[in-house]
Amino acid sequence: MPFNNENDLKDVMLKYSFAKKVLETELSILIDEYEFNNGYNPVEHIKYRIKTMESATKKLAKKNLELTVSNLVRYINDMVGVRIVCSFISDVYKIVDIIKSSKQFIVKNESDYIKNPKDSGYTSYHINILVPVHLFDKTEYIEAEIQIRTVAMDCWASIDHKLRYKLPSTIPEPLEQEMLLRAEEMLDMDKKMDMLNDLLKKYIN
Protein backbone atom coordinates (compact mmCIF):
# COMPACT_ATOMS: atom_id res chain seq x y z
CA MET A 1 0.00 0.00 0.00
CA PRO A 2 1.76 3.20 -1.13
CA PHE A 3 -0.22 5.49 1.22
CA ASN A 4 1.11 6.02 4.72
CA ASN A 5 -2.19 5.64 6.59
CA GLU A 6 -4.28 2.68 5.50
CA ASN A 7 -7.19 3.41 7.87
CA ASP A 8 -7.54 7.00 6.60
CA LEU A 9 -7.42 5.71 3.05
CA LYS A 10 -10.19 3.19 3.71
CA ASP A 11 -12.26 5.94 5.33
CA VAL A 12 -11.97 8.32 2.39
CA MET A 13 -12.61 5.56 -0.15
CA LEU A 14 -15.80 4.66 1.72
CA LYS A 15 -16.92 8.28 1.49
CA TYR A 16 -16.22 8.26 -2.26
CA SER A 17 -18.44 5.19 -2.50
CA PHE A 18 -21.22 6.98 -0.59
CA ALA A 19 -20.89 10.06 -2.83
CA LYS A 20 -21.18 7.89 -5.94
CA LYS A 21 -24.44 6.39 -4.62
CA VAL A 22 -25.87 9.84 -3.80
CA LEU A 23 -24.85 11.08 -7.24
CA GLU A 24 -26.46 8.12 -9.02
CA THR A 25 -29.74 8.61 -7.15
CA GLU A 26 -29.96 12.38 -7.53
CA LEU A 27 -29.06 12.38 -11.24
CA SER A 28 -31.57 9.61 -11.91
CA ILE A 29 -34.32 11.63 -10.21
CA LEU A 30 -33.41 14.85 -12.03
CA ILE A 31 -33.30 13.19 -15.46
CA ASP A 32 -36.50 11.20 -14.89
CA GLU A 33 -38.28 14.38 -13.81
CA TYR A 34 -37.02 16.22 -16.90
CA GLU A 35 -38.28 13.39 -19.12
CA PHE A 36 -41.68 13.42 -17.38
CA ASN A 37 -42.06 17.18 -17.82
CA ASN A 38 -40.72 17.37 -21.38
CA GLY A 39 -41.52 13.98 -22.90
CA TYR A 40 -37.87 13.61 -23.89
CA ASN A 41 -34.75 12.10 -22.31
CA PRO A 42 -31.56 13.88 -23.48
CA VAL A 43 -29.31 11.07 -22.20
CA GLU A 44 -28.02 8.19 -24.32
CA HIS A 45 -26.19 6.50 -21.47
CA ILE A 46 -24.40 7.24 -18.19
CA LYS A 47 -21.30 5.65 -16.69
CA TYR A 48 -20.32 6.04 -13.02
CA ARG A 49 -16.95 5.04 -11.60
CA ILE A 50 -14.50 5.51 -8.75
CA LYS A 51 -10.93 5.96 -9.96
CA THR A 52 -8.69 3.00 -9.20
CA MET A 53 -5.87 3.45 -6.71
CA GLU A 54 -3.39 2.55 -9.45
CA SER A 55 -4.67 5.42 -11.59
CA ALA A 56 -4.78 7.84 -8.65
CA THR A 57 -1.23 6.90 -7.63
CA LYS A 58 0.07 7.52 -11.17
CA LYS A 59 -1.70 10.89 -11.28
CA LEU A 60 -0.14 12.00 -7.97
CA ALA A 61 3.28 10.79 -9.14
CA LYS A 62 2.87 12.73 -12.40
CA LYS A 63 2.18 15.86 -10.33
CA ASN A 64 5.30 15.09 -8.23
CA LEU A 65 3.15 14.88 -5.10
CA GLU A 66 3.70 12.71 -2.06
CA LEU A 67 1.39 9.70 -1.78
CA THR A 68 -0.73 10.88 1.14
CA VAL A 69 -4.47 10.75 1.72
CA SER A 70 -4.62 14.54 2.09
CA ASN A 71 -2.98 14.97 -1.35
CA LEU A 72 -5.39 12.44 -2.81
CA VAL A 73 -8.39 14.42 -1.56
CA ARG A 74 -6.94 17.83 -2.43
CA TYR A 75 -5.43 17.23 -5.84
CA ILE A 76 -7.33 14.33 -7.42
CA ASN A 77 -10.66 15.99 -8.16
CA ASP A 78 -12.12 13.16 -10.24
CA MET A 79 -11.91 10.22 -7.84
CA VAL A 80 -15.68 10.06 -8.25
CA GLY A 81 -16.44 10.40 -11.94
CA VAL A 82 -19.51 10.42 -14.14
CA ARG A 83 -19.68 10.40 -17.92
CA ILE A 84 -22.99 11.41 -19.45
CA VAL A 85 -23.33 10.81 -23.19
CA CYS A 86 -26.00 12.61 -25.23
CA SER A 87 -27.08 12.57 -28.87
CA PHE A 88 -26.75 16.28 -29.59
CA ILE A 89 -24.72 19.28 -28.43
CA SER A 90 -27.94 21.01 -27.36
CA ASP A 91 -28.64 18.01 -25.09
CA VAL A 92 -25.27 18.50 -23.40
CA TYR A 93 -26.30 21.99 -22.30
CA LYS A 94 -29.71 20.69 -21.18
CA ILE A 95 -27.90 18.27 -18.87
CA VAL A 96 -25.69 21.07 -17.54
CA ASP A 97 -28.83 23.06 -16.68
CA ILE A 98 -30.40 19.99 -15.06
CA ILE A 99 -27.34 19.46 -12.84
CA LYS A 100 -27.26 23.12 -11.84
CA SER A 101 -30.95 22.96 -10.93
CA SER A 102 -30.22 20.42 -8.17
CA LYS A 103 -30.69 21.63 -4.61
CA GLN A 104 -28.27 18.88 -3.50
CA PHE A 105 -25.15 19.68 -5.49
CA ILE A 106 -22.82 22.64 -5.14
CA VAL A 107 -21.07 23.60 -8.38
CA LYS A 108 -17.36 24.09 -7.69
CA ASN A 109 -16.15 24.87 -11.22
CA GLU A 110 -16.90 24.09 -14.84
CA SER A 111 -15.04 24.03 -18.15
CA ASP A 112 -16.72 24.23 -21.54
CA TYR A 113 -14.39 22.41 -23.92
CA ILE A 114 -17.09 22.42 -26.59
CA LYS A 115 -17.00 26.18 -27.11
CA ASN A 116 -13.31 26.21 -26.22
CA PRO A 117 -11.72 22.88 -27.28
CA LYS A 118 -8.36 21.85 -25.84
CA ASP A 119 -5.28 22.23 -28.03
CA SER A 120 -5.51 18.49 -28.77
CA GLY A 121 -9.02 18.99 -30.18
CA TYR A 122 -10.67 17.34 -27.15
CA THR A 123 -14.27 18.44 -26.69
CA SER A 124 -16.55 17.85 -23.72
CA TYR A 125 -18.24 19.78 -20.91
CA HIS A 126 -16.71 19.26 -17.47
CA ILE A 127 -18.46 20.28 -14.28
CA ASN A 128 -17.06 19.62 -10.81
CA ILE A 129 -19.59 19.45 -8.02
CA LEU A 130 -19.62 18.87 -4.28
CA VAL A 131 -21.92 16.01 -3.29
CA PRO A 132 -23.40 15.97 0.24
CA VAL A 133 -22.78 12.76 2.16
CA HIS A 134 -24.88 12.59 5.32
CA LEU A 135 -22.94 10.60 7.88
CA PHE A 136 -24.05 9.59 11.39
CA ASP A 137 -22.83 12.76 13.10
CA LYS A 138 -22.10 15.20 10.26
CA THR A 139 -22.45 16.04 6.58
CA GLU A 140 -19.39 16.05 4.35
CA TYR A 141 -19.17 17.35 0.80
CA ILE A 142 -17.25 15.08 -1.57
CA GLU A 143 -16.03 16.34 -4.92
CA ALA A 144 -17.03 14.59 -8.14
CA GLU A 145 -16.34 15.34 -11.79
CA ILE A 146 -19.08 15.04 -14.39
CA GLN A 147 -18.12 14.89 -18.07
CA ILE A 148 -20.95 15.54 -20.51
CA ARG A 149 -20.45 14.93 -24.22
CA THR A 150 -22.11 13.75 -27.40
CA VAL A 151 -21.83 10.26 -28.85
CA ALA A 152 -19.40 11.60 -31.47
CA MET A 153 -17.24 13.32 -28.83
CA ASP A 154 -17.19 10.15 -26.74
CA CYS A 155 -16.20 8.10 -29.77
CA TRP A 156 -13.36 10.44 -30.66
CA ALA A 157 -12.12 10.68 -27.04
CA SER A 158 -11.90 6.87 -26.92
CA ILE A 159 -10.08 6.63 -30.26
CA ASP A 160 -7.77 9.53 -29.40
CA HIS A 161 -6.86 7.90 -26.06
CA LYS A 162 -6.04 4.58 -27.74
CA LEU A 163 -3.91 6.28 -30.40
CA ARG A 164 -1.99 8.38 -27.87
CA TYR A 165 -1.45 5.35 -25.61
CA LYS A 166 0.53 3.70 -28.41
CA LEU A 167 2.61 6.79 -29.15
CA PRO A 168 5.71 8.23 -27.45
CA SER A 169 5.25 11.13 -25.01
CA THR A 170 6.18 13.58 -27.78
CA ILE A 171 3.85 13.02 -30.73
CA PRO A 172 5.30 13.85 -34.18
CA GLU A 173 3.83 17.16 -35.38
CA PRO A 174 2.38 15.83 -38.68
CA LEU A 175 0.46 13.17 -36.76
CA GLU A 176 -0.64 15.68 -34.09
CA GLN A 177 -1.99 17.99 -36.81
CA GLU A 178 -3.81 15.15 -38.54
CA MET A 179 -5.46 14.08 -35.27
CA LEU A 180 -6.49 17.68 -34.59
CA LEU A 181 -8.09 17.90 -38.03
CA ARG A 182 -10.11 14.74 -37.38
CA ALA A 183 -11.27 16.15 -34.04
CA GLU A 184 -12.37 19.38 -35.75
CA GLU A 185 -14.27 17.37 -38.38
CA MET A 186 -16.09 15.43 -35.64
CA LEU A 187 -17.10 18.67 -33.91
CA ASP A 188 -18.27 20.15 -37.20
CA MET A 189 -20.40 17.05 -37.82
CA ASP A 190 -21.85 17.36 -34.30
CA LYS A 191 -22.88 20.95 -35.04
CA LYS A 192 -24.51 19.90 -38.32
CA MET A 193 -26.43 17.13 -36.54
CA ASP A 194 -27.63 19.71 -34.02
CA MET A 195 -28.93 21.85 -36.90
CA LEU A 196 -30.63 18.80 -38.39
CA ASN A 197 -32.27 18.08 -35.03
CA ASP A 198 -33.58 21.66 -34.86
CA LEU A 199 -34.98 21.30 -38.38
CA LEU A 200 -36.71 18.02 -37.47
CA LYS A 201 -38.42 19.70 -34.51
CA LYS A 202 -40.20 22.09 -36.86
CA TYR A 203 -41.94 19.18 -38.57
CA ILE A 204 -42.67 17.21 -35.39
CA ASN A 205 -44.11 20.00 -33.23
Chain segment 92-150, per-residue pLDDT in tens:
999 999 999 999 999 999 999 999 998 888 899 999 999 999 999 999 999 999 999 99
Instruction: Give CA separation, 155 vs 1, 29, 107, 174, 185, in Å.
Output: 35, 27, 27, 22, 13
What's the distance, CA 31 to chain centroid? 16
- 3-state DSSP assignment of residue 38: helix
Tell which wins on pLDDT, 178 or 8. 8
Query: Is the predicted pLDDT of residue 1 greater than 50, yes or no?
Result: no
Partners of 48 in beta bridges: 82
Domain-wise residue ranges, the chain: 6-156
Q: Which CATH code fits 6-156?
A: 3.30.460.10
Chain segment 43-80, per-residue pLDDT in tens:
999 999 999 999 999 899 889 999 899 999 999 999 99
Count CB atoms within 10 A of the CB of residue 127: 22
- 3-state DSSP assignment of residue 171: coil
The whole-number pLDDT of residue 86 equals 94
pLDDT band at 205 (very low <50, low <70, confident <90, very high): low
